[in-house]
Amino acid sequence: MSHQLSAGSIKLLQTASPDDVTVFESQHTLQFLSIKRVGNTPNPTGATPPDRYRIIMSDGVHYMQAMLATQLNSLVQDNIIGKNTIALIDKLTCNYVQEKRLIIVLGLRVLQHSAEKIGDPQNLESSDTAEGAAGNQGSATSASTPTPIAKPVSVGTSSGMRQQAPPPKGRHGNIYPIEGLSPYQNNWTIKARVMQKSDIKTWSNARGEGKLFNVTLMDDSGEIRATGFNLAVDELYPKLEEGKVYYISKARVNLAKKKFSNVNNDYELSFERNTEVEECHEITNVPTIKYNFVPLNALEELNKDAICDVIGVVKEASPLSEITSTKQNRQIPKRDLTLVDKSGFSVRMTLWGKQAEQYNAAEPSPVIAFKGVKVGDFGGRSLSMYSSSTMHINPDIDECFALRGWYDSAGSDQTFKAHSIASGASSTFGFNRAEIRSFDEVKQTGFGMPDKPETFSARGTIMHIKSDNISYPACPTPSCNKKVIEMNGSWRCEKCDKSFPAPEHRYIMSMAVADYSGQAWLQGFNEVGIAVFGMTANELLETKDRNLSRTHIMRTLVFGMASRASNH
Q: Write out pLDDT tens, residues 489-499.
A: 889 888 788 88
Residues in Cβ contact with 266 at an 8 Å cutoff, skipping those fewer than 6 apart: 49, 50, 70, 255, 256
Last residue of a domain, one of 137, 159, 192: 137
154 is a domain residue: no
Range in 87-91, 272-276, 366-370, 437-441 with the lowest mean pLDDT:
437-441
Amino acid 377: pLDDT: 75
395 lies in the same domain as 438: no
pLDDT tens digits, 382-419: 899 877 788 889 988 889 999 999 999 988 888 888 87
Indicate the pLDDT class of residue 437, thresholds 50, 70 and 90. Answer: confident
Cα–Cα distances (Å) from 9 to 14, 64, 167, in that order, read 9, 10, 19
Amino acid 215: pLDDT: 93
Assess contact for 56 and 62: CB atoms under 8 A.
Answer: no
pLDDT at 518 over 80: yes
Q: How far apart are the first and last CA of the chain?
A: 75
Q: Is 319 helix (H, G, I), strand (E, B) or coil?
A: coil
pLDDT at 30 over 90: yes
Mean pLDDT in residue range 441-452: 62
Compute the CA torsion angle 186, 189, 193, 195 (nearest 10 deg): 20
Amino acid 554: pLDDT: 57
Residues in Cβ contact with 65 at an 8 Å cutoff, skipping those fewer than 6 apart: 54, 55, 56, 57, 103, 125, 129, 133, 158
Q: Is 272 helix (H, G, I), strand (E, B) or coil?
A: coil
90 lies in the same domain as 194: no
413 lies in the same domain as 447: no
- DSSP string for 482-499: -B-EEETTEEEETTTTEE
332 lies in the same domain as 249: no
Compute the CA torsion angle 85, 108, 178, 191 (nearest 10 deg): 140
Amino acid 224: pLDDT: 93
Last residue of a domain, one of 247, 279, 311: 279
> In terms of Cα–Cα distance, which of 390, 303, 406 is closest to 349?
390
pLDDT tens digits, 219-251: 887 889 999 999 999 999 999 998 899 999 999
118 lies in the same domain as 25: yes
Distance CA 246, CA 270 (A): 16
Indicate the pLDDT class of residue 289, thresholds 50, 70 and 90. Answer: confident
pLDDT tens digits, 36-80: 887 655 544 445 567 788 898 999 999 888 989 888 888 998 889
326 lies in the same domain as 269: no
pLDDT at 341 over 90: yes
Mean predicted lDDT score pLDDT of the chain: 78
542 is a domain residue: yes
407 lies in the same domain as 444: no
Amino acid 455: pLDDT: 66
- For residue 39, give its domain range: 9-137
Residues in Cβ contact with 446 at an 8 Å cutoff, skipping those fewer than 6 apart: none
442 lies in the same domain as 559: yes
Beta strands in 7-165 (DSSP E): 28-38, 52-58, 62-68, 85-97, 100-113, 122-123
425 is a domain residue: no
Indicate the pLDDT class of residue 87, thresholds 50, 70 and 90. Answer: very high
48 is a domain residue: yes
Amino acid 97: pLDDT: 66
386 lies in the same domain as 438: no
pLDDT tens digits, 291-327: 889 999 999 888 888 889 999 999 988 888 887 766 6
Mean pLDDT in residue range 21-32: 89
Answering whether pTM is above 0.95, one says no
Indicate the pLDDT class of residue 159, thresholds 50, 70 and 90. Answer: very low
Helix (H) / strand (E) containing 216: strand 208-218
Last residue of a domain, one of 137, 164, 190: 137
Q: Which one is predicted more confidently, 157 or 288?
A: 288
Indicate the pLDDT class of residue 115, thresholds 50, 70 and 90. Answer: confident
Q: Is 516 helix (H, G, I), strand (E, B) or coil?
A: coil
CATH number at 203 reads 2.40.50.140
257 is a domain residue: yes
Report CA torsion sign: 225, 229, 235, 239: positive
pLDDT at 119 over 60: yes
Amino acid 547: pLDDT: 53
Amino acid 21: pLDDT: 81
> In terms of Cα–Cα distance, which of 147, 231, 225 is closest to 192?
225
Tell me which amino acid residue 518 is.
Answer: G
202 is a domain residue: yes
pLDDT at 13 over 50: yes
Please list, residue by residue across 299-335, b when 16 or more beta carbons sit within 10 angstroms of its beta carbon and e when fewer do.
Answer: bbeeeeeebbbbbbbbbebbeeeebeeeeeeeeebbb
59 lies in the same domain as 81: yes
Percent of the chain scoring above 90 in pLDDT: 23
49 lies in the same domain as 119: yes
- DSSP string for 544-568: S---HHHHTTT-EEEEEEEE-----
Distance CA 392, CA 374 (A): 16
Amino acid 358: pLDDT: 86
The count of domains in the chain is: 4
Amino acid 539: pLDDT: 82
Helix (H) / strand (E) containing 127: helix 127-137
Q: Is 340 helix (H, G, I), strand (E, B) or coil?
A: strand
Rounded to 5°, the CA angle 495-501-502 comes to 80
Distance CA 374, CA 306 (A): 6
484 is a domain residue: no
Indicate the pLDDT class of residue 557, thresholds 50, 70 and 90. Answer: low
pLDDT at 186 over 60: yes
289 is a domain residue: no
304 lies in the same domain as 184: no
